[in-house]
Structure 1
Amino acid sequence: MQLVWEKPDVYNFRQVNQDSLWKKIIADLFEDFLLFFLPELHAEVDFSKQVEFLQQELFKEIIEHRQGRKIADQIAKVHLKSGKEQWILVHTEIQTVDEVHFAKRMFEYFYRISDRYGKKIVAIAIFTDTSTKSTNQYHDKYFGTEITYTFNKFVVSDFDKEELTKSPKLFSKAILASIYMNRTKNKMSFRSVYKRALLREVWSLNNVERTEMSALLYFIDYLLKLPRDMSEQLVKDIKDEIRGEEEILHLYKEDLPPTLVGVLDLERQEGFEQGIEQGIEQGIEQGIKQIIFGLMKNGAEDEWIAEVAKLSVAKVKEIRKELK
């Protein structure tokens, strides 16, 4: 299962494309996503068979009238453990802002997808905004003709922060990041603290696939963007915190988000500067040795050389052995 996603050229904290971020994290961690939101459905799905995402080919047909909106909707084709050829369409809607008639639009998706494919549909609407007022039900009644359509609705801010922190479910960390983003829109210092803790928590997880960890780290890093100066300070703080684990980071370098790549770059820069300093020191030491060799060749005694060069007599004797 692979979703093509272009990395942003500019790491700008004021420009966060939530649609793309959510679309990527759901595709990359779809099994964990389903386990988090609909564990009953997750238990029925056979994840040994590939999950297919149909949003690109399907949404062009069913929402052509919605030009200009960046679509974060996804439709995943999954297979059940029953072994039947039957598959379920999971319609995922990421809503960052309330829209008028949202429930009606969800119903329109339902009947258009059902008409096109004739398959069972599970609809999930996730609201990342804290002030959502949209309902999870569409109802229409007219002279004895009546229809009610209900879908799964989740509001990120409704989840308990402490429970998310304790949760062993991987996708809980993505929900935490979304909560932190909403809480710190005008509080960048708090965002930096939350981001550092969350990145560290994810980095410390055990038994997590490399691709899954990378996807989650990217999501957190880009969703919780910081101003340049605070981002640079965060890099320094993280570098000090993970001292001794740099080799592990190097193994994952191609899959790391900007903040952790910055940690490696800072480590390399400091190593380069340290190497220069050591080279200078070694050069000075070598120069002193050459002077001492000259004094020895002219018959100077070790005690006198030690006093002049500010060295111990024992050190001078070691240098004399090199001369021989």
Structure 2
Amino acid sequence: MTEQDADRQDADRPTDHDSPWKEALDYYFQEFTQLLFPAIHGEVDWPRGYNPMDKELQQITADANTGRRHADKLIQVYARDGSETWVLIHVEVQGEPEEGFAQRMYTYQYRLRDRYGVDVVSLAVLADTRESFRPSAFQYERWGCKLSFTFPMAKLIDWEERWADLEVSDNVFALVVMAQIKAKRVKDGATRKEVKIALVRLLYERGYSREQIVQLFRIIDWMIQLPRELEPEFVQAVYALQEEKKMPYVNTIERVEREKALQQGLERGLERGRHQGVEGTLRKQLALKFGELPDWADERLAAATDAQLDDWVLRIMEADSLESLLGKH
């Protein structure tokens, strides 16, 4: 598969801005920096805590071209150098290659610095699979005026060569990186199911707390989507794993059944809404062409199937009577 083919495949998948990445960064921001940006992790005074500033980020990015991405986060942290100055760390997780990505990173950088008057550290996480897409700077020069902006960047597929390190890492964010890489790389449904089961097994074997298992399971489950017909097999595998480990922390069956019921209800609602819309439009067209509808025609319309309504909509222009169109018996 060429890089361009991979890009088109990525572009076909919807990007959810309220993504598992946002949840992962909310839960494990310190672990995220430790794994992907260790030099920066060492400069932060973690005992002083950190504060999400998502609303502030939304204010300065409201009119920006956001592109297709997994998540962006703004976190307030304190530096270890003893100063009272606090640093805003802007994290952007980019899902697909984008020509204007570096310029957007610079736009957010200068807007944040102008608004808050503090140092801003911009971090980019590239979750795409195009090997050559590695933006880490934005610059321009004209008539002696020159600007150069660089930012730290982590390319997740680089970890494929260090997969064994992820498997043995005691950093909880390693599982998030593994799940994201597999979500991008593995397309076959059956293989995705096996990969997902393997990650959940690894989750249970690492000795995490109940809260961590539940949180990480939710993130992995959200990242690696399975075809609906394979969900029951995944459910049974997780159920067996929980029995084996005696850790019934994730009520998977309840989750799947709840989501399935929600999806079925949504589909029924969409079908019902479409049916009502077509029927209402057809009634108006019939009334305009043939006048007030008799009771028998009203009953025929009320009992019609989707296929019948579609057929009548197509034939109404050439019909010379209600009887010939609706087939009065």
TMscore range, shorter length: 0.5 to 0.7
Alignment-mate amino acid for residue 193 of structure 1: E
Given that residues 139 and 147 in structure 1 are in contact (C-alpha distance below 8 angstroms), is that contact kept between their aligned partners in structure 2? yes
Q: 1:62 touches 1:113 (CA, 8 Å); kept in 2? A: no
Aligned to 2:89: 90
Aligned residues of 2:70 and 2:95 also touching (Cα < 8 A): no
1:179 corresponding residue in structure 2: 181
The CA deviation at 1:213 is 3.0
Q: CA deviation at 1:72?
A: 2.1
1:218–1:257 CA contact under 8 A, matched in 2: no
Aligned to 1:123: 122
Q: What is the match of residue 76 of structure 1? A: 75
Give yes or no for contact 1:140–1:146 (8 Å, CA) kept in 2. Answer: yes
| Cα distance in 2, alignment partners of residues 19 and 50 from structure 1 | 24
Confirm or deny: 8 A CA contact 1:18 1:223 kept in the other structure.
no
Rg comparison, structure with higher value: 1
Deviations 1:95-154 (A, max 9, x none): 112222211111111111111112112211111110262521111111111111111112
Whether the 8 Å CA contact 2:24–2:219 is kept in 1: the answer is yes
Contact 2:89/2:120, CA 8 A, preserved across alignment: yes
Whole-Å separation in 1 of the counterparts to 2:70 and 2:196: 27
Q: Kindly, what percent of the aligned residue pairs are identical?
A: 28
Letter in 2 for 1:127: L
- Could you tell me whether the CA contact under 8 Å between 2:238 and 2:252 is conserved in 1? no
1:214 corresponds to: 214
- Whether the 8 Å contact between 2:125 and 2:154 is mirrored in structure 1 is yes
Compute the displacement of 1:83 (Å).
4.3
Aligned residues: 242
CA distance in 2, matches of 1:258, 1:64: 40
1:121/1:212 CA distance change after superposition, 3 Å:
farther
Return the TM-score normalized by structure 1: 0.67
Q: Which residue of 2 aligns with 1:204?
A: 205
Q: What does residue 226 of structure 2 align with?
A: 226
Aligned to 1:108: 107
How far apart are residue 238 of structure 1 and its match? 2.7
Equivalent residues of 2:68, 2:95 under 8 A apart: no
Is the 2:61–2:108 contact (alpha carbons within 8 Å) kept by the matching residues of 1?
Answer: yes
Q: 1:243 aligns to what SS in structure 2?
A: helix
Please identify, of 14-23 and 226-235, the stretch whose mean Cα deviation from structure 2 is larger.
14-23
- Shift of residue 19, structure 1, vs aligned partner: 4.9
Q: Which runs of 4+ in 1 moved over 6 A?
A: 67-71
Partner of 1:237: 237
2:30 & 2:85 partners in 1: Cα distance? 18
Q: 1:241 to 1:257 in 2, by over 3 A?
A: closer
Alpha-carbon distance between aligned partners in 2 of 1:138 and 1:80, rounded to the nearest angstrom = 25
- Tell me if the contact between 1:29 and 1:212 (Cα under 8 Å) persists in the aligned partners: no
CA 16–114 in structure 1, closer or farther in 2 if over 3 Å, else same: closer
Deviates more, 1:226-235 or 1:138-147: 226-235
> Which whole-Å CA distance do the structure 1 matches of 2:198 and 2:157 have between them?
19
Separation in structure 1 between the aligned mates of residue 201 and residue 243 of structure 2, nearest angstrom: 12
The equivalent residue for 1:294 is: none
Distance 2:252 2:243 in 1: 18
Q: Deviations over 1:204-252 (max 9, x none)?
A: 212x344333222111111112122311112212323342544x32xx4
d(CA) in 1 for partners of 2:14, 2:68: 17
Q: Distance in 2 between matches of 1:25 and 1:257?
A: 20
* Structure 1: runs of 5 or more not aligned: 1-13, 264-324
1:140 aligns with 2:153: no
Corresponding letter in the other structure for 1:177: A
Does 1:25 find its partner at 2:30? no
Cα gap change, 1:39/1:210 in structure 2, threshold over 3 Å: closer, same or farther? farther
Q: Which residue in 2 is equivalent to 1:47?
A: 46
Equivalent position SS for 1:88: strand
Q: Partner residue of 1:163?
A: 165
Preserved CA contact (<8 Å) 2:93 2:126: yes
Q: CA deviation at 1:39?
A: 1.4
Cα separation, 2, equivalents of 1:30 and 1:176: 16
Give the Cα separation in 1 of the matches to 2:38 and 2:213.
Answer: 21
CA RMSD in angstroms comes to 2.6
Q: CA deviation at 1:69?
A: 6.8
| Structure 2 CA distance for partners of 1:242 and 1:209, relative to 1, 3 Å | closer
Distance in structure 1 (CA, Å) of the matches to 2:66 and 2:173: 31
